[in-house]
Amino acid sequence: MAMVDWRMAGPEITNCNCAWGCPCQFNALPTHGDCRAAVAMRIDQGHFGDVALDGLRWAAVFAWPKAIHLGDGEALIVIDEQASPAQRDGLLKILSGQETVPGATIFNVFAGTLTKVHDPVFAPIEFEADADKRTGRFAVKGVVETTITPIRNPVTGAEHRARVTIPQGFEYHQAEYASGATKARGAIVHDWNERHAHIAQLDIGTQGVSH
C-alpha cells in the first residue's frame, strides 16, 4: 500500500537525562540505566500529503525504564493548538511512526518501544533555537519546559563546542551538542540540569532523513 508523502524541515531541540554526548548517539547504554527525554520542533517547511504544516510546532516527553531498545516506554505528544483537525491528524500520524518506511525515522523506531502513549495534548508551544550559539528553549504550560545552553569547560568556564555527524542517522544528519535542563510534570515527570542536549536542523520525511 502506498504511503502518504510527508516532510518536516526546521530546528529541533532534544534534552535527555544522560551525560553530555548521550550514549545513544554511539550505540551505548544510557548513563543512569534509564532513558528520559523531552523534544520539540518548529516546522518551517512541511506537509502531510496535501496538508501544509508550515509554521506549526510539536513537542514530546518520553520515559523508558531501561535502554530505549529494551522497550516498555511511555510517551506524551503535544501538538500546536493552532493546528487544524487535518494538521493534527497528520502530525499525530507522523509522530507515532505511521506512513514511514520501517526503521527510517526516529518516530517509527521509537513507536516499537512504547507500551503506553498518553492522550495527546493540544496547547500553545513556546519555541526558540539558535544552533550557532547552542541556545534554545521550549515550553508547554503545565507539561514541560526545557532550556539549553553551551557546554562549558569545568576549569575555565569557557564555552565548549562539539558537533556530531551521523551519516545514516534516523533523527538528524548533524547536530550541535549542548547542556540542557528540563522540568516536566503531569503524566510524565522529569527534573534535571546540565544533561545532554542537542540542537539540529531536521529535514525528515516518509523515506527518512535527508542527508
Percent of the chain with pLDDT strictly greater than 70 = 100
Q: How many angstroms separate the CA atoms of 106 and 97, rounded?
A: 8
User: Does a structural domain hold residue 77?
Assistant: yes
- Average pLDDT in the 59-74 region? 97
Q: Which amino acid would we find at residue 33?
A: G
- Annotate 164-191 with b (16+ C-beta within 10 A) or e (fewer): bebeebbbbbebbbbbbbbbbeeebebe
- Average pLDDT in the 56-84 region? 97
**151-157: long-range contacts (C-beta < 8 A, 24 or more apart)?**
151/20, 151/177, 151/178, 151/179, 152/179
User: Does a structural domain hold residue 110?
Assistant: yes
Domain that holds residue 17: 6-209
User: Does a structural domain hold residue 122?
Assistant: yes
- Average pLDDT in the 15-43 region? 96
- Binning pLDDT at 50, 70 and 90, where does residue 182 land? very high
User: Does a structural domain hold residue 61?
Assistant: yes
Mean pLDDT of the chain: 96
Domain count, the chain: 1
User: Does a structural domain hold residue 107?
Assistant: yes
Question: Residue 1's pLDDT is what?
Answer: 63
Task: Provide the H-helix boundaries in 96-136.
Answer: 106-111
User: Does a structural domain hold residue 1?
Assistant: no
User: Does a structural domain hold residue 101?
Assistant: yes
- Binning pLDDT at 50, 70 and 90, where does residue 93 land? very high
> For residue range 119-172, what is the model confidence (pLDDT) as tens digits?
999 999 999 999 999 999 999 999 999 999 999 999 999 999 999 999 999 999
Question: Residue 17's pLDDT is what?
Answer: 98
Question: Residue 12's pLDDT is what?
Answer: 98
Q: How many angstroms separate the CA atoms of 107 and 39, rounded?
A: 12
Q: How many angstroms separate the CA atoms of 21 and 160, rounded?
A: 12
Question: Residue 211's pLDDT is what?
Answer: 78
Question: Residue 2's pLDDT is what?
Answer: 83
- Average pLDDT in the 52-58 region? 98
**Residue 29 exposed, middle or buried by CB count within 10 Å (0-12, 13-18, 19+):** middle
